[in-house]
Structure 1
Amino acid sequence: MALGETAQFINGAAFKPTDWENDGLPIIRIQNLTGSGEKFNYTARQVKSELIVEPGDLLVSWSATLDVYRWAGPRGVLNQHIFKVLPKQGIDPDYLFFALKTALSELTAKTHGSTMKHVVRSDFESTHVAVPPLDEQRRIVDLLSRAEGIVKLRRDAEKKAAELIPALFLDLFGDPATNPKGWPTSLFGAVGVLDRGRSRNRPRDAKELYDGPYPFIQTGDVSNSGGRITGYTATYSEAGLAQSRLWKRGTLCITIAANIAKTGVLEFDACFPDSVVGFLPGEQVRTAYVQAWLGFLQPTLEANAPQAAQKNINLEILRNLPIPLPPLALQELFEQRCSDVISIQSQQSAAKAKAQATFNALLAQVFAATA
């Protein structure tokens, strides 16, 4: 059955900044679905009742991010590039949720645009999914919901593990913004080597610079690293290395453009451009301490970053940040405990990935069998 026959898909409205107000209903945007931006804009603008979203409604993002979501709330109005899904008679909403997961996975390979993916409505609605009798739909939902529940448990465990290091930092050192334990302070630029990466060549995308043996790290690699940079998406050639700089394994990478003050520790020697800063600790600090300290400052640094085409901060802002200096022995204790936590995080991430892979395989198997 074509998706267009399983449900009515209602596209959201286009809201301009002039529609934003301090009260009214929240505008549900794609970033509110993905979690990349959880703050709402609000509007008091009157819209059709069909554009009101209630908790429990199915929503499909069809541009930039292609996925289906169960809206957890609050009540809001639907922004453009998102479909509200109204299942037709004989279609179980939870079954349709899983069917849409499968369909969108297939459509992803056919999306238009390399940087801004989207699906054409006609292609979307003409995509076929298996629709068995209602009793069979509910049996499939029960099976897949159990597998999905395991993924959620693993995801929650991974999230809790990620909260351990900040909690440990506060316990040992106190809030770095107020320094309640009265540690002596210095400027960040004075406690180690703090320099921008290099990419002198213009144009920067010259082919001769790439596809060699030297890993080339960019801001996205840092911000998506989870704190440890274990992979890369590009490499420099000898010509690329000649106009850059090779930083050693263990360097703390700090983004200063687009994503501000996101950090990751290199697990291998690598080059990076001037949108990333490298830090190597001196005798007064340890890398794990500095990375956790920056984690507390990151929201403030990003919120205050000037923005032209994209947000950015300069190196002097980082160099002049006051940093508390607890005793090295305490920092080293923290570093050891961080190592233990990272091991736990790695185990949780692996368990989540395995659970997700099992769910994906089961999802594909179920819909292949019902096709």
Structure 2
Amino acid sequence: MSWSVLRLDEVAEVVAGNPAPQESGDFVEDGYLFIRMQDVGREHRTADLRTSTDRVGDESVSKYRLRLFPVGSVLIPKSGASVNLNHRAMLGCEAYVVSHLAVIVPNKEKLLPEYLYYWSLSYDPRSQAQTTSLPSLPLSLIKAALMPMPPLSEQRRIVDILSRAEGIVRLRRDAEKKAAELIPALFLDMFGDPATNPKGWTTAPFGAIGTLDRGKSRHRPRDAAELYGGAYPFIQTGDVANSGGRITGYTTTYSELGLAQSRLWPRGTLCITIAANIAKTGVLDFDSCFPDSVVGFLPGELVRTEYVQSWLGFLQPTLEANAPQAAQKNINLEILRNLPVPVPPLDLQNVFDQRCAEIFSIQTQQTTATAKAQATFDALLAQVFG
């Protein structure tokens, strides 16, 4: 049976939130939620938003004539960089909302809030956003969006199916997070906190336990087409930072000319970022070149790569927090070379290395399962909302 297709403003009220109070005294510790863009962005997508950084009291509500939005209101970014990130949220409790967010309040006689939320996940107006210095979505554009409108009974059935599928995705992601905590926990159990070295391991400078050098890309013009499109992988800072610890793919390659002005590092190299993203790491799954914003490490006889990578993982927040910043954060190679590394017995590192391999196998399975669950959910959304 075909369903009617209606404009969003025929079945819901579409408005903007309120301008944010500007004085520090306008906010209180124990007041009503005041939802800002970052509160939505922190969740990316949630059907139960109940937290905010800022809260307002009765005095501010009266002073600024703020509107309280009901449970089940759906929030869509309408101005700023968040428009391009497609964040979505549904209020799990009453809240005040900033004006950068469009608030959609469903007419519950025609539209279930949960059905509206799932529709919003399929609604992607980014190509229609007006772009000046920052993208913006006029409320008129959101109001005119078209929505398939089955009867409420059918909406309930659809919501039930989609919520089950989304629940599976959520469980898979939770399992991934728990798996990601296994290696740091194992490291602490076997070697202790590297910041305090409670087991009293002998230490050595990072630069003395293996080869530690910058990548190389002498030819600076980035539009030099003759350097690219060959057989030699070329990875950059973002590839390392987003690798999850294992660099398994690449999108850019060097030609013979590109290779001649760079250096090909072997599979198994530990890549360490030293610009923008500080001390993020990934192990190469293939031979590759990389620029001087990435440092490569090849272990000597005293250490194993997995051990060094995990050790750096504990130091990463401190290194990033203390990195000097001009146009972007960066750290000097000498800082890395002089870091004291606790060096436990090699046989203990070998045991750690083997257990890490087993954990990585579990993580790979978890990642695959999450991707399949997400694909199923996305397919269901597309089937319902086109």
* TM-score bin (small chain): 0.7 to 0.9
Pick from 196, 203, 213: which aligns with 1:178? Answer: 196
Identify the residue that residue 291 of structure 1 maps to in structure 2: 309
Is the alpha carbon distance of 1:355 and 1:244 closer, same or farther for their aligned partners in structure 2, counting shifts above 3 Å?
same
* 2:101 is equivalent to residue 85 of structure 1: no
Pick from 119, 123, 145: which aligns with 1:103? Answer: 123
Deviations 1:179-230 (A, max 9, x none): 1100010111111111111121132332222222211111111111111001
Identify the residue that residue 258 of structure 1 maps to in structure 2: 276
| Other structure's SS at 1:172 match | helix
Deviations 1:5-64 (A, max 9, x none): 434242564788x9699975777334762469xx98658795756577888753323523
| Other structure's SS at 1:129 match | strand
| Other structure's SS at 1:260 match | strand
| Other structure's SS at 2:165 match | helix
Q: Offset of 1:246 from its aligned partner?
A: 1.0
Query: 1:88 corresponds to which letter in structure 2?
Result: N
Identify the residue that residue 48 of structure 2 maps to in structure 1: none
Identify the residue that residue 137 of structure 1 maps to in structure 2: 155
CA contact (8 A) 1:20 1:42 kept: no
Identify the residue that residue 269 of structure 1 maps to in structure 2: 287
CA contact (8 A) 2:299 2:305 kept: yes
Is the alpha carbon distance of 1:71 and 1:301 closer, same or farther for their aligned partners in structure 2, counting shifts above 3 Å?
farther
Q: Map 1:40-59; keep pairs closer than 5 Å.
A: 46=60, 48=64, 50=66, 58-59=74-75
Query: 1:339 corresponds to which letter in structure 2?
Result: A
Identify the residue that residue 64 of structure 1 maps to in structure 2: 84
Greater C-alpha radius of gyration = 2
* 2:335 is equivalent to residue 317 of structure 1: yes
Identify the residue that residue 340 of structure 1 maps to in structure 2: 358
Is the alpha carbon distance of 1:22 and 1:97 closer, same or farther for their aligned partners in structure 2, counting shifts above 3 Å?
closer
CA contact (8 A) 2:240 2:247 kept: yes
Identify the residue that residue 179 of structure 2 maps to in structure 1: 161
Q: Offset of 1:332 from its aligned partner?
A: 0.7
Query: 2:199 corresponds to which letter in structure 1?
Result: K
Pick from 286, 294, 301: which aligns with 2:319? Answer: 301
Cα distance between partner residues in 2 of 1:93 and 1:169: 46
Pick from 285, 296, 299: which aligns with 1:281? Answer: 299
Q: Offset of 1:345 from its aligned partner?
A: 0.3
Deviations 1:67-94 (A, max 9, x none): 3124578x97655643333223432111
Is the alpha carbon distance of 1:338 and 1:197 closer, same or farther for their aligned partners in structure 2, counting shifts above 3 Å?
same
CA contact (8 A) 1:12 1:84 kept: no
Alignment gaps of 5+ in structure 1: none
Q: Map 1:110-129; keep pairs closer than 5 Å.
A: 119=137, 121-129=139-147
Q: Map 1:164-243; keep pairs closer than 5 Å.
A: 164-243=182-261
Q: Offset of 1:118 from its aligned partner?
A: 6.1
Cα distance between partner residues in 1 of 2:384 and 2:153: 15
| Other structure's SS at 2:87 match | strand
Is the alpha carbon distance of 1:298 and 1:128 closer, same or farther for their aligned partners in structure 2, counting shifts above 3 Å?
same
Deviations 1:249-273 (A, max 9, x none): 1111111111111111110111111
* 2:37 is equivalent to residue 33 of structure 1: no
* TM-score, length-scaled by structure 1: 0.86
Query: 2:89 corresponds to which letter in structure 1?
Result: Y
Alignment gaps of 5+ in structure 2: 1-5, 45-50
Pick from 10, 29, 35: which aligns with 2:16? Answer: 10
Q: Offset of 1:337 from its aligned partner?
A: 0.2
CA contact (8 A) 2:34 2:56 kept: no
Q: How many residues are matched?
A: 361
CA contact (8 A) 2:73 2:106 kept: no
CA contact (8 A) 1:260 1:311 kept: yes
Cα distance between partner residues in 2 of 1:120 and 1:215: 43
Cα distance between partner residues in 2 of 1:129 and 1:298: 46
Q: Offset of 1:130 from its aligned partner?
A: 0.9
CA contact (8 A) 2:72 2:114 kept: no
* Identical aligned residues as a percent: 59
Cα distance between partner residues in 2 of 1:20 and 1:184: 53
Cα distance between partner residues in 2 of 1:229 and 1:288: 14
CA contact (8 A) 2:213 2:295 kept: yes
Cα distance between partner residues in 2 of 1:199 and 1:119: 41
Identify the residue that residue 47 of structure 2 maps to in structure 1: none
Is the alpha carbon distance of 1:339 and 1:147 closer, same or farther for their aligned partners in structure 2, counting shifts above 3 Å?
same
Cα distance between partner residues in 1 of 2:35 and 2:269: 41
Structure 1 window deviating more from structure 2 (1-10 vs 138-147): it is 1-10
CA contact (8 A) 2:272 2:294 kept: yes
* 2:375 is equivalent to residue 357 of structure 1: yes
CA contact (8 A) 1:13 1:51 kept: no
CA contact (8 A) 1:199 1:272 kept: yes
Cα distance between partner residues in 1 of 2:278 and 2:56: 33
* TM-score, length-scaled by structure 2: 0.83
| Other structure's SS at 1:353 match | helix
